[in-house]
Amino acid sequence: MYLLELAGEDDAFARCEARSAVTDVSRLAPGLASARGIDSRGVRRLAYTHRASELVGTTDASVESARLLLELAGVERGGSVRVRARRVRDTAVDTQRAERELGSVLVERGFSVDLEEPDHELRAVFSGDTCALGWLAAASRRDFAARAPTDKPFFQPGSMDPLLARAIANIAGAGPGATILDPMCGTGGVLVEAGLAGARVIGADAQWKMTHGARENLAHYDVEFDLFRGDATRIPLRDGTIDGVVFDAPYGRQSKIEGELTPLVEGALGEARRIAPRAVVVADRPWTDAVESVGWTVEDRFERRVHGSLTRYISVLG
């Protein structure tokens, strides 16, 4: 079993993304999940999971209980070690004391201490009334800040942040050997993240300005891509040729815009259904009728508040 340290406040969304890299994900405690198996390379691509560790066990959220758990556990490894203790969401535990106490147990078992480049790292994570111990197995690559929308060659207001873009790409199936399509690619943010995750990416947008800008952004990050100006309701690809579709639907509630959006979103959903078995749609509403009318099933749906007047709905379709 493995311990997952989740990022952000929406654990359900983090667990959904984690399923792209691990198996049998279950809630363990706030900010924590367990998994039966992991793909280490897949974990490194995750946005909303910080780390995956081989689970030693769980106990009460106290230093004494954590020490007893480690003392009773069999440790079939040697070499150098460091201990890292972490509180999740303001759990009141002295993490420095926890590191000292657990470190002393390991030293008694023959480990040497190396705080810089150890052979092993023991993780002690305290959340609510739970403490979980695990040996670090994989960590995600936290380089998203380097791809902030405003730092890209081409930027437009409202561009999706790379953390969310990577999560959505992962949920859609991005990874080595997969092909991901964004038929409303805008500045190309989701395509950049899907490409960096190892997928082949294809994008389209109705506006020449956007396709030109997305090309700049994708080339800037050395992502290989196919990009064209086109209509999301008429994608020139054969049935079943894409592994996953993802798009951020235009927002708008005014009656004039509403009349234009409905056929666009319905058409895009229908095309996605034709060419792929899976889709992730981001929008300012659930679009439930449109989703069901073209034969999609909603596997998961998440709400993420952006500000007082805007909530993003993320629908995972299969």
Banded model confidence at residue 255, pLDDT cuts 50, 70, 90: very low
- Strand blocks (E) in the chain: 2-6, 22-23, 26-29, 32-35, 37-38, 49-60, 80-88, 112-113, 120-127, 130-139, 179-182, 200-205, 225-229, 244-248, 279-283, 298-307, 310-317
**CATH architecture, domain defined by 2-139:** 2-Layer Sandwich (3.30)
Angle at the Cα of 123 (from 118 to 125), degrees rounded to 5? 160
pLDDT over 70 (residue 193): yes
> What pTM did the predictor assign?
0.94
N-to-C CA span, the chain: 28
Please indicate whether the domains covering 2-139 and 144-317 agree at the CATH topology level: no
CA 127 to chain centre: 21
Task: Quote the pLDDT of residue 144.
Answer: 96
Distances (CA, A) of 12 to 22, 49, 191, 304: 14, 12, 24, 12
pLDDT over 60 (residue 258): no
Angle at the Cα of 61 (from 55 to 67), degrees rounded to 5? 65
pLDDT over 80 (residue 23): yes
In sequence order, the β-bridge partners of residue 245 are 181, 279
Task: Give the lowest-confidence range in 29-43, 85-99, 223-237.
Answer: 85-99
pLDDT over 80 (residue 253): no
pLDDT tens-digit profile of 155-165? 999 899 999 99
**Average confidence score pLDDT of the chain:** 94
Q: Taking Cα atoms as reference points, which of 47, 20, 41 lies closest to residue 189?
A: 47
Instruction: Write the Ramachandran bin of 252: left for phi over 0, alpha for psi from -120 to 50, otherwise beta.
Output: left
Over pLDDT 90: what percentage of the chain? 90
The C-alpha atoms of residue 59 and residue 63 are separated, in whole angstroms, by 10
pLDDT tens-digit profile of 120-136? 999 999 999 999 999 99
Task: Quote the pLDDT of residue 310.
Answer: 82
Q: Taking the CB of residue 316, how many other CB atoms lie within 10 A of it?
A: 21
- H or E stretch at 67: helix 63-72
Banded model confidence at residue 259, pLDDT cuts 50, 70, 90: low
Task: Quote the pLDDT of residue 316.
Answer: 98
- H or E stretch at 264: helix 255-275
Task: Quote the pLDDT of residue 131.
Answer: 97
Buried b (16+ CB within 10 A) or exposed e, 19-58: ebbbeebeebbebbbbbeebeeebbebbbbbbbbbebbeb
pLDDT over 50 (residue 219): yes
Task: Quote the pLDDT of residue 309.
Answer: 76
Angle at the Cα of 274 (from 270 to 279), degrees rounded to 5? 70
- H or E stretch at 68: helix 63-72
Q: φ and ψ at 116, to 5 degrees?
A: -100, -60
- Residue 119 DSSP label: S
pLDDT over 50 (residue 19): yes
In sequence order, the β-bridge partners of residue 226 are 202
Task: Quote the pLDDT of residue 256.
Answer: 44
Banded model confidence at residue 254, pLDDT cuts 50, 70, 90: very low
**CATH architecture, domain defined by 144-317:** 3-Layer(aba) Sandwich (3.40)
Boundaries of every domain in the chain: 2-139, 144-317
| In the block, residue with structure tokens 């769980």 | 58
Task: Quote the pLDDT of residue 1.
Answer: 97
